[in-house]
Amino acid sequence: MLAAWSNRGGAVRRQPILAALSAYSGDRPALVADSFGSIATCRPGQRSPPVDAPTPYADGILAFTGWLDRAPDRHQTDTQCYAQALERYGSDADDRLSGAYAAATLYPDGRLRLSRSPWQAPPLHYAAHLGEVIASSVLRALFAFGIPRTLDRTRVLNALYLDGAGDPTAGWYCGVRSVPLGTSLIVSPDGSVEIQRQYDPFRAYVDVGKDPAQWVAEARSLIDDHARLAASRSQHPAISLSGGLDSPIAAAALLRTKPATAPLSVISVRPSRSWDMVTEPGKFGDEGSRAEEFCAMHGLTAVFTHEGGFDLDLQDLHRASAITSPFIGNGGMIMAAYRAAAAAGADWFFDAVSGNDTISAEGHWAYPAMLASGRWRQLLAALRQRSNDPRGLARKFVSLALMPHLPVGARNTLKVRFSRGAGSVADRSSLLKRAVIADFGLATAASQRQTATGRRRMIELAWAASDSGMADLELGREQLTGLRRRDLLAYRPLIEFCLSLPDEAFLRDGTDRWLARELARGIMPESQRRETRYGGHNVDWHSYLVARREELLETFDGLSTHPWLGEWIDVERARGLLDALPNRTPLDPATAWPLQFGIVGTAAIARFVAQVEGRNAL
């Protein structure tokens, strides 16, 4: 983690900022101070691996957090390597480097150059205050600098609408901005911002050839490259293992490339023992048996955790990250996995979260693309052969190929005709009062977002979704457990290779996720490789609501008296939903989504707001 701030007048108190930066590690941050400001680095938690100290170079003082995609070099740190790239290539340095990092340079005139790598990076926030400027990985350092801790109510409102989209530079607090992924910018003490560079995913095209066998071989080689680099930094890695395709592919790559002497802990999550075994159609609920079969093939033993619940460590996570999320419902499951990996003695925790945007993309954009390009014979064949979809040909055609091209109004009309009611998760689930949604135009703004009608639009959506603002929560988990986290499929060369592949690499002869299924050949049971259902994450959500029903009723009772949340949230609707909580997990979205997303998301956001404002816990 890092913090950098100007201090040309000498009025900024250094110690509160350093204490905020090292709140969870207990370390004394590595500090370089000058007459024009200070810059410091610190590891996230007490058990975290060491981090590089700030490095002076020709233009100023550099702090770096994260990693470059290279093997550790005892003669040159990542910070020194990045400084060398800045000296050689200037503003183009980030185009020539691959990694997951955030960097800050403090210039002698008090300006800050801030940069985050594309696709994945630690968070980096900044703000100007009283003629000085600060940037940090953690928001609490900005508050220690003197930035007022005032929530941006527009951001809270969008979160309560369960809308994860929005401006990636907008923070949760007034006056605080975030550096977008793939962007380098310069912030002056007066608050002015100059954009130096922005990553363009469409300039990342690579020649992939036309041989499907070569696509598979190259993808496997890139995954192995990243697994080897990741393992080289870890003494005891752990990996999160599901019953799907992506994490076993990543785990197999780790086994092929890690040092033979390094142990590997496998962490898998099973539903709560109070789960009623109800699963949505097209999904399977307990991934544990598949994880066990994979481990048996490779001589591994999985550690299973049954813990979960949306509120597991929620208060601590809010405190560490200083943000929340409308989709915090999976947070307890993720936190439980982190806790299990830490208990196993791991130093790094690996996962494969980026699989759906890389090797394991469904290829759903290919249906409307085939319709638009006149490849109708291919389209009909793909629709007929589509697995795990019992709908008739006409209904599949309308839903998959035609609707993405239609205006919003026409799409909603067809949803009423062909699906179980119209509306997004936000439309059906948000507990905001209808008048509030209408007054702020929330539904209108959300409805303007298009679905993917072809490869280009898919890339645009994937690039936008990569900057979801979840990096703060990930860093919060690292601070609480001392683990470092790395996504083995979030490797820039692999991402750019997959973005360059044709549709047939993902949707082929009616088989979706074709590339991932080929990569999985021989490393998992064949039944798992061919499985067309998806693993249902957080399938036990209903059991946690039942257990916490009275507590949640108290939360919403408290919300009714909150000065502004009480004006926005339909407390009576929330009470009615909890009073009518079904005895078993509901499968109808009209019943399930307001409970699973609306109740849980609203309660989490309300508790976060109360924590920030210093109110009694809701």
Section 13-34 average pLDDT: 95
Instruction: Identify the pLDDT of residue 617.
Output: 67
* Burial (CB count within 10 angstroms: exposed 0-12, middle 13-18, buried 19+), residue 75: exposed
Give the sheet arrangement for strand 265-269, strand by strand. 302-305, 265-269, 237-240, 348-351, 484-487
- What is the architecture, at CATH level 2, of domain 2-198? 4-Layer Sandwich (3.60)
498-534 residues labelled b (16+ CB within 10 A) or e (exposed): bbbbebbbbbbeebbbbbbbbbbeebbeeebbebebb
Tell me the one-letter amino acid at 511: T
The answer for 479, left when phi > 0, alpha when psi is -120 to 50, beta otherwise, is alpha
Q: Fill in the DSSP letter of residue 154.
A: H
Tell me the one-letter amino acid at 347: D
Yes or no: say if 482 and 44 are a contact pair by the CB < 8 Å rule. yes
Q: What's the pLDDT tens digit per position in 187-217?
A: 999 999 999 999 999 988 889 999 999 999 9
Q: What's the pLDDT tens digit per position in 320-337?
A: 999 998 887 667 889 999
Long-range contacts of 195-199 (CB under 8 A, 24+ apart): 196/91, 196/113, 197/91, 197/92, 197/94, 197/95, 197/115, 199/94, 199/95, 199/118
pLDDT exceeds cutoff 90 at 491: yes
The ranges assigned to domains in the chain are 2-198, 203-360+470-535, 366-464, 541-613
Per-residue confidence at 532, pLDDT binned at 50, 70, 90?
A: confident
- Structural element, H or E, at residue 303: strand 302-305
Give the list of residues 6+ apart from residue 407 with CB closer than 8 angstroms, or none: none
Q: What is the CATH number of domain 203-360+470-535?
A: 3.40.50.620
Give the residue, 574 or 425, on which the prediction is more confident.
574
Per-residue confidence at 447, pLDDT binned at 50, 70, 90?
A: low
Q: Fill in the DSSP letter of residue 449.
A: P
Q: What three-state secondary structure class fits 55?
A: strand
Q: What three-state secondary structure class fits 573?
A: helix
Section 302-312 average pLDDT: 81
What stretches of 215-294 adopt beta strand conformation (E)?
237-240, 265-269, 283-284
Q: What three-state secondary structure class fits 181?
A: coil
Q: Tell if the pTM clears 0.75, that is, is over it.
A: yes
Per-residue confidence at 422, pLDDT binned at 50, 70, 90?
A: very low
- Show the CA angle centred on residue 455, arms to residues 450 and 459, nearest 5°: 70
Lowest mean pLDDT among 74-88, 365-379, 401-415, 584-598: 401-415
Q: What three-state secondary structure class fits 140?
A: helix
Q: Which residues pair with 61 in a beta bridge?
A: 56, 106
Per-residue confidence at 278, pLDDT binned at 50, 70, 90?
A: very high
d(CA 377, CA 503): 15
* Helix 471-481 with 331-343: angle, nearest 10 deg: 30
